[in-house]
Amino acid sequence: MHAIRTNSVGASLEETFKAHKDAPWVFLRGLGNWGDDFLFAGAEALANRLGLDWRDIPLDTFPDVDLPETTCVYIHGSGGFNPWCSGSAITNLKHATSKQIRLALQGPMSVGGDADWLSDVMTDVVSDARAEEIIVFTREQYSYDAIANIKGLVETADVRLDQDSALYLQVDEILSLAGLDSLPEGNYDLVVVREDPEAGKSAGEQTFPGVQLDPAYAANSFAHWIRMHLGAKHIATNRLHSSIIGTLAGKQVTVGPGSYHKNRSVYEQSLVHRNVAWSDNIGVRDKQWWFSLPTRVRTSYKANLARLFANGIPTR
């Protein structure tokens, strides 16, 4: 049984939340690093600002939980709709659409993979749909174009385009998450280069000045991750949410490519209008002495603590 596609009120995530403000909401957080937590925090802050009645449900219990038919389920956005991730983002949306509820809402996300893979996956997501309404948000034009014409999806779901949910955060909300009263003065240049398979490759040999690290691994908490960025003067990065927190905090920000279109697509959709610069060459790891050290040294807690302290970066 397929759900019936309806004409929802409003085009943006904010307007959609407002249109269903009277309903009980369940939010589903996906898997990820501290940058993903920043994305999650954006939607949650928006929901709080609008007065939504929402609660979290753990992912492992969600498939078997019974929900009232008046419930709206929000699945946080992500970059997980691609063949090299765990598949949990896709599974979460499928579980939500298969429940007899008022609304299954996929938060702004990016997709990857070839057209045939994507068509098969997104069609399967709604193959057992029972939700009264299904809305799927993308966060940039590339992903919107990739799924807006998948017949098996758009016959059932309303596909929309909005900004990354982290961009809904306001400075006071970011400070609250960081446990700070005011924005610190920037006193170091931060070069945030991914240390995972999504890093991609720089197109040349340019290296931005500053200390090069990946807060996804160097931070010991979400609040610490935020404080590491807020203390910077300039952030050069190929991590999308490092560029987003930087521009929200009024920092000088330069963003560059990762392993697929996501960074460039979100930049063109949302960040180019926020005084964020683009560079194809963010950092070259072997230009910094730190990366010539043995792995056991670089991954040592004490060594990382000393490195942060020596560069004036918050240690917690």
Report d(CA 116, CA 121) in Å as an integer: 9
Return d(Cα 228, Cα 37) in angstroms, integer: 15
Res 1 pLDDT > 50: no
Compute the distance between CA of residue 265 and CA of residue 283 in angstroms, rounded to an integer: 20
Lowest mean pLDDT among 7-11, 18-22, 190-194, 256-260: 7-11
> What pLDDT is attached to residue 201?
67
User: CA–CA separation, 154 vs 125, rounded Å?
Assistant: 12
Three-state DSSP state, 81: strand
Lowest mean pLDDT among 168-177, 182-191, 198-207, 227-236: 198-207
H-helix segments, the chain = 13-19, 34-50, 88-97, 115-125, 141-147, 151-154, 171-178, 215-218, 222-230, 240-248, 262-266, 295-298, 301-310
Chain position carrying tokens 């691609």: 82
The DSSP secondary-structure symbol of 285 reads G
HEC readout, 82-106: CCCCCCHHHHHHHHHHCCCCCEEEE
pLDDT digits (tens, 9 = 90+) for 246-255: 999 999 999 9
Contact 270, 163 (CB under 8 A): yes
What are the pLDDT digits (tens) for 247-292? 999 999 999 988 788 999 999 999 999 989 999 888 655 556 666 7
107-159 tens-digit pLDDT:
999 998 788 989 999 999 999 999 999 999 999 999 999 999 899 899 999 99
Give the per-residue pLDDT at 83. 80
Lowest-pLDDT range, 68-72, 201-205, 238-242?
201-205
Most confident of 50-54, 57-61, 298-302, 306-310: 50-54
* Residue 138 to residue 136: CA distance in whole angstroms: 7
Query: Partners of 162 in the beta sheet?
Result: none
Pairwise CA distance, residues 234 & 191, whole Å: 8
196-218 pLDDT, tens per residue? 666 666 655 557 888 888 898 88
Per-residue confidence at 89, pLDDT binned at 50, 70, 90? Answer: confident
For 205, half-sphere exposure in the C-beta direction (CA atoms, 13 angstrom radius) is: 1
